[in-house]
Structure 1
Amino acid sequence: MANGRVERRLAVIMATDIVGYSRLTEADETRTLDTMKRLQTSILAPGITACGGRIVKLMGDGTLVVFNSAVDAVDCAISLQEALACDQQEQPTDDRILVRIGINLADVVIEGDDLLGDGVNVAARLQASATPGGICIADVVHRQLGAKGRSAFLDGGEIALKNITRPIHVWHWTDAPTIGPSMSQACARTSIAVLPFENLSNAPDQTFFSDGITEDIIGGLARFRALSVTAASSSFSFRGEHADIKEIGRKLGVTYLVDGSVRRAGERMRITARLIEVASGTHLWSEHYDRRLTDIFAIQDDVTRMIVSTLVGQIESADLRQALRKPPKSLAAYEFYLRGLAHIRGYEPDDNRQAHAMFQAAVDRDPQFALAHAYLALAIIAEQGYGNAPSDVLDAALAIARKAVSLDEAESGCQRMLAIIQFYRREFELAERHYRRAYLLNPNDANTLVQMGGLLARRGKLDEAMEWINEGFRLNPFPPPWYSATLGNALYILGRYEEAAAALKELPNPGPFTLARLVACHAQSANAASVEETKARLLQVCPDFSTEDFIRRGLLLERDEHRDLFRQGLLKAGLPA
Structure 2
Amino acid sequence: TEDIITDLSKISGLHVIARNTAFTYRGKSVTMTQVAQDLGVRFVLEGSVRKAGERVRITGQLIDGNDGSLVWADRYDRDLTDIFAIQDDITHTIVSQLEVRLLPEEKAAIGQAPTENIEAYTYYLRGRHYLHLRTRAFLTLARRMFARAVELDPQYARAYAGMATCDSLLASWHQMEISVDDILATTGRALAIDPDLAEAHAARGLALSFANRRDEAAAAFARALSLDPNGYEANYYFARFSFANGDLEAAARHFIRSIEIDPNDYRSPLHLQNLLPSLGRPEEGERYARLGLERAEKALMEHPEGSGPAQLGAAALARLGERDRAKEWLARAMAIDPDDIHAQYNAACVYALLGDIERAIDILESYLAHASGERKRWFIHDSDLDPIRDHPRYQKLLEFTR
TM-score calculated relative to the size of structure 2: 0.55
2:345 aligned residue:
514
CA distance in 2, matches of 1:570, 1:523: 18
Q: Does 1:154 align with 2:102?
A: yes
Quick check: 1:449–1:468 contact (8 Å CA) kept in 2? yes
2:356 aligned residue:
525
Quick check: 1:498–1:525 contact (8 Å CA) kept in 2? no
Q: Note the alpha carbon deviations across 1:400-428, whole angstroms, 9 max, x for none.
A: 11211221223344333332332223221
Give the 3-state SS of the residue equivalent to 1:72 in structure 2.
strand
Give the 3-state SS of the residue equivalent to 2:381 in structure 1.
coil
CA distance in 2, matches of 1:558, 1:522: 12
1:72 aligned residue:
74
2:253 aligned residue:
433
Match of 2:198 among 345, 348, 370: 370
2:110 aligned residue:
175
Q: Note the alpha carbon deviations across 1:92-137, whole angstroms, 9 max, x for none.
A: xxxxxxxxx9xxxxxxxxxxxxxxxxxxxxxxxxxxxxxxx97699
Q: Does 1:144 align with 2:97?
A: yes
Match of 2:175 among 348, 358, 364: 348
Quick check: 2:161–2:190 contact (8 Å CA) kept in 1? yes
1:469, CA displacement in angstroms? 2.4
Aligned-partner residue type, residue 567 of structure 1:
R
Aligned-partner residue type, residue 415 of structure 1:
N
Quick check: 2:205–2:220 contact (8 Å CA) kept in 1? yes
Q: Note the alpha carbon deviations across 1:472-528, whole angstroms, 9 max, x for none.
A: 313322285554554455456567585686477446442799399379659943887
Q: Does 1:469 align with 2:292?
A: yes
Quick check: 1:401–1:421 contact (8 Å CA) kept in 2? no
Aligned-partner residue type, residue 375 of structure 1:
A
Q: Note the alpha carbon deviations across 1:303-325, whole angstroms, 9 max, x for none.
A: xxxxxx99xxx998865443356
Aligned-partner residue type, residue 339 of structure 1:
M
1:565, CA displacement in angstroms? 0.8
2:17 aligned residue:
none
Match of 2:215 among 395, 398, 409: 395
Asked which structure has the greater CA Rg, the reply is 1
Give the 3-state SS of the residue equivalent to 1:555 in structure 2.
helix
Going from structure 1 to structure 2, the CA distance change for 1:568 and 1:512 (only over 3 Å counts) comes to: farther
Q: Does 1:566 align with 2:388?
A: yes
Aligned-partner residue type, residue 472 of structure 1:
R
1:381, CA displacement in angstroms? 0.7
Name the structure with the higher helix share: 2
Q: Does 1:322 align with 2:257?
A: no
1:377, CA displacement in angstroms? 0.9
Q: How many residues align?
A: 316
Quick check: 2:314–2:327 contact (8 Å CA) kept in 1? no
For structure 1, the residue ranges without an aligned partner over 5 or more in a row are 1-40, 53-67, 85-100, 102-132, 157-170, 193-225, 228-254, 257-274, 276-283, 285-308, 385-392
Give the 3-state SS of the residue equivalent to 2:102 in structure 1.
strand
1:14 aligned residue:
none
CA distance in 2, matches of 1:419, 1:550: 12
1:31 aligned residue:
none
1:359, CA displacement in angstroms? 3.4
Going from structure 1 to structure 2, the CA distance change for 1:317 and 1:72 (only over 3 Å counts) comes to: farther
Aligned-partner residue type, residue 381 of structure 2:
L
2:189 aligned residue:
361
Q: Note the alpha carbon deviations across 1:156-212, whole angstroms, 9 max, x for none.
A: 7xxxxxxxxxxxxxx95742227xxxx5499799669xxxxxxxxxxxxxxxxxxxx
Q: Does 1:383 align with 2:211?
A: yes
2:263 aligned residue:
443
RMSD of aligned Cα (Å): 5.7
Identity %: 17
TM-score calculated relative to the size of structure 1: 0.41
Quick check: 1:432–1:455 contact (8 Å CA) kept in 2? yes
1:557 aligned residue:
381
1:326, CA displacement in angstroms? 7.1
Name the structure with the higher strand share: 1
